[in-house]
Structure 1
């Protein structure tokens, strides 16, 4: 029995923090007491440090292997006479590291706190009961060892398969059969280069939060943020399995039992390209007393995979299914709140689930392509266009315009940024949405007026533009209500409304968190 427990300690996860002792219950009506960082004993601490350095050196050698192999070849080290001693040296190092790992397991076995944790983890794996899960959630450890709490297979959805949810695809150019074959051969090098760019530095530039080095640098901050959500807000961490096999790391704060009017509404937060739920935009709806569900992009924090559009859509889909089928919320009780690049998953969600109550987009954009073209040389234009459309097609405006429900989708768009306010892509997102919904009003003159309002540098100028055109809000709303009553049709409509029902200005920098005072629920007819 002792040997089996030592083996569990040897193969077990890193334990970082104990949020609260498992036998402690949450005090009635308030959050529980603070937790503490796990303190390994001397043997475990030193052996863990050695294995950590070995892992870092392995990662460094892996990424630098092409250059390293070229150097060794030029120096004549890659030959049969020298490979044997090198392989023997590597074997000796591996044996030593195995011995160090065994010593670390011994050190964990001698630590009563780690023994208690590993026992709870094994018991939860065998019997995934609410009582066992409640004990396990007070520990912060490697999320890969966390048992799955919800899977896409638990929902009977005939439209969903392992191939993933459906995305809007770029419209293919019409060509003849022979022309199509010749064009495929001619553009083959471009396809290969695009694939390599997207799967190497392109994806990492677009989603820097997926880079392991950045996550290691932010690890203390992420652990502190997660501890705050669990210990102060009684948050619950869950692992969701998406249809592509990726495991999605989520955090749920339930306010329904607090009795507030906002607690019955769930805000699902979609983070930016370097954002994590631990330190991201969850704080804004939490300030307002909402129930909140945060999740990390694939490849961020405890989530597995890589954040390509298909994986992103698969992730938000399983998050919504979890909110409905496991947490007990109705789609009409859900608001999607997204910051920056999170607008892609938010717009996909409301396009695919039109019953969702609302979507709030903070500092988002209409399409990735114009942003990519802006930072790349003009000579790269064809390559950038092909790479974005094939592998990183974040087409937020197109997805918003494909929402068929005339009432349930309402948008508040916050734009921020440089002194030239009209360069902000949030303006383009608003204009595309208005042009789709109200084409009879958004003619050349209508677009010019909205651009004039968007170009206002402060609220006084906005009001001046608004009053200058003598806009009668009550009359506009009555016309829309009459139109909706007489015609039960989806958008586009042949009538229109002004931009400020959809856009709200908040003057600050792109990376400043949105305060709750600026978190307005969208206007609805």
Structure 2
């Protein structure tokens, strides 16, 4: 290998040695590599800051006269000086890496893996380095045509462009392209990732060394590369390892420090992934790219990891509920869906955080480019679903007021769609009032619970368990109220917590379902 391989090789973060967490150490570069990396890192941070503040910088330089012919030699000298600094820094980094035993071992393992077109080699898995250099493990584009799925989620509004709304359309596009997407998905901001990298590296080390996780790179149908980790507990015969939980993180969440901890502690097999543009994943978290990412993750779980669809639970937290429902709407036979601290429609959250005068632009931006409408998606999934509401949620509720929690609206939209004859206007009103405060301990007797369950089982056995289920057409008002409260409690659980705390294991369970001997009948 030439020195160029070392100069432009990936940054090495850690060498795994199987030691417990307190003794783990980040890779320590030598003096030459450290000096070169520090200069390049500083220049990179300055470039990122300049990118986000470019309109102000360009305006300042223009007013100072730096864009006239007389100032061009000065700009050329500055550019040449910066270029020289970069070249010297790169050379020093390469020399330092060449002298490092750990880095040389990593480079040899990486070259061997690329030659074999796989990263299954245990030698490569001993290292944590920049994921862009990691070989692709699973490519959706290379699978058989009959195994590929065509996603049916429309995240962009169709229709012709109207001249009258052209200024708003243009403003909405510019807003999303510059700061809007970063506001919705702050985890995609590179500066934030750089700040969090030590925590992410440590989190990965725990998953890989303590939980025996394996890291994989998945290539999507739109050529993004998705960073994933898989914890296999299928050999644990007394646990839940035969069931795979696919975890979709929030808008600033990463699998390294995210929601995987809860199902791992319960001994499920768990597959975590990072949204496009998050840490090792490429791309940007636009809905189109995100839905292709989750589809690739599910196909990887089925085709390469060997899980049946009916043995998969889809688990989404916060904005990850969108990814989860996208997958559920296209893989209808999954074992269940768990949505924690999730909203009904991101538009209503965006409108409350922006000035009222910009509501028109906000609506166009969301509906055209980031249409995360979970209520619509939930209607396309007919399987078991569990919603978890954080009673002190400060993110998807206004001023921590529980009655404004958008999870309330998602819950009611699911129940109203699935049981329209039970959730009529009066029952919706009672349920809304019930959701305006934390759910109290159920006062249902065992006999009442059995009676409600018996009604559902009898109807589903006779008429089929398709949704919307038309049970309740001839029920009295008293029975409707009883059934509505029963179904609400079966679909929703309260967790006394704020938005970002880890979900305790006792709240994570397989979603409730109506038991019938005939199973699902889809319409």
- Would you say same fold, with TM above 0.5? yes
Query: Do structure 1's residue 246 and structure 2's residue 212 form an aligned pair?
Result: no
Let me know the Cα RMSD of the aligned residues: 2.3
Q: Deviations over 1:443-500 (max 9, x none)?
A: 112112322332343534xx25x57xx9822122122212222223520011164211
Counterpart in the other structure of 1:81: 70
**How much has 1:35 moved relative to structure 2?**
4.7
Residues 259-408 of structure 1: pairs in structure 2 closer than 5 A: 259-403=237-381, 405=382, 408=383
Counterpart in the other structure of 2:433: 452
Which of residues 115, 134, 142 is equivalent to 2:104?
A: 115
Worse-matched range after superposition: 315-324 or 76-85: 76-85
425 and 66 in structure 1: CA distance in 2 versus 1, 3 angstrom threshold: closer
**How much has 1:129 moved relative to structure 2?**
4.8
Counterpart in the other structure of 2:410: 429
**How much has 1:431 moved relative to structure 2?**
0.6
Q: Deviations over 1:267-316 (max 9, x none)?
A: 00010111100000000101100000000111111111111111111110
Which of residues 176, 201, 219 is equivalent to 2:197?
A: 219
Counterpart in the other structure of 2:61: 72
103 and 381 in structure 1: CA distance in 2 versus 1, 3 angstrom threshold: closer
Are the aligned partners of 2:239 and 2:266 in contact in 1 as well (CA < 8 Å)?
A: no
Tell me, which stretches of 5 or more residues in structure 2 are unaligned?
394-399, 473-482, 515-523
**Which secondary structure state, in structure 1, belongs to the residue aligned with residue 235 of structure 2?**
helix
124 and 338 in structure 1: CA distance in 2 versus 1, 3 angstrom threshold: same
Tell me, which stretches of 5 or more residues in structure 1 are unaligned?
174-179
Query: Do structure 1's residue 41 and structure 2's residue 30 form an aligned pair?
Result: yes
Are the aligned partners of 1:363 and 1:416 in contact in 2 as well (CA < 8 Å)?
A: no
Q: Deviations over 1:123-145 (max 9, x none)?
A: 1001135652x221121111111
131 and 446 in structure 1: CA distance in 2 versus 1, 3 angstrom threshold: closer
Counterpart in the other structure of 2:138: 150
Which of residues 458, 463, 469 is equivalent to 1:493?
A: 469
**How much has 1:220 moved relative to structure 2?**
1.1
CA distance in 2, matches of 1:416, 1:244: 39
Counterpart in the other structure of 1:411: 386
**Which secondary structure state, in structure 1, belongs to the residue aligned with residue 123 of structure 2?**
helix
Which of residues 498, 504, 507 is equivalent to 1:518?
A: 507
**How much has 1:70 moved relative to structure 2?**
2.4
**How much has 1:64 moved relative to structure 2?**
3.0
Worse-matched range after superposition: 148-157 or 297-306: 148-157
Using structure 2 for the length normalisation, give the TM-score. Answer: 0.89
239 and 131 in structure 1: CA distance in 2 versus 1, 3 angstrom threshold: closer
**Which secondary structure state, in structure 2, belongs to the residue aligned with residue 491 of structure 1?**
coil
Counterpart in the other structure of 2:82: 93
CA distance in 2, matches of 1:502, 1:187: 41
Q: Deviations over 1:204-232 (max 9, x none)?
A: 11111111111111111111111110110
Counterpart in the other structure of 2:457: 481
Are the aligned partners of 1:299 and 1:305 in contact in 2 as well (CA < 8 Å)?
A: yes
**How much has 1:352 moved relative to structure 2?**
0.9
Are the aligned partners of 2:6 and 2:94 in contact in 1 as well (CA < 8 Å)?
A: yes
39 and 484 in structure 1: CA distance in 2 versus 1, 3 angstrom threshold: same
Are the aligned partners of 2:118 and 2:137 in contact in 1 as well (CA < 8 Å)?
A: no
Q: How many residues align?
A: 495
CA distance in 2, matches of 1:93, 1:33: 40
Worse-matched range after superposition: 331-340 or 193-202: 193-202
Worse-matched range after superposition: 276-285 or 495-504: 495-504
CA distance in 1, matches of 2:156, 2:26: 49
**How much has 1:75 moved relative to structure 2?**
2.2
Are the aligned partners of 1:354 and 1:409 in contact in 2 as well (CA < 8 Å)?
A: no
Query: Do structure 1's residue 193 and structure 2's residue 179 form an aligned pair?
Result: no
278 and 202 in structure 1: CA distance in 2 versus 1, 3 angstrom threshold: same
Using structure 1 for the length normalisation, give the TM-score. Answer: 0.89
Are the aligned partners of 1:417 and 1:424 in contact in 2 as well (CA < 8 Å)?
A: no
Which of residues 19, 37, 40 is equivalent to 2:16?
A: 19
Query: Do structure 1's residue 233 and structure 2's residue 211 form an aligned pair?
Result: yes
Q: Deviations over 1:74-131 (max 9, x none)?
A: 2223222321342134123313321221121111111122111101111100113565
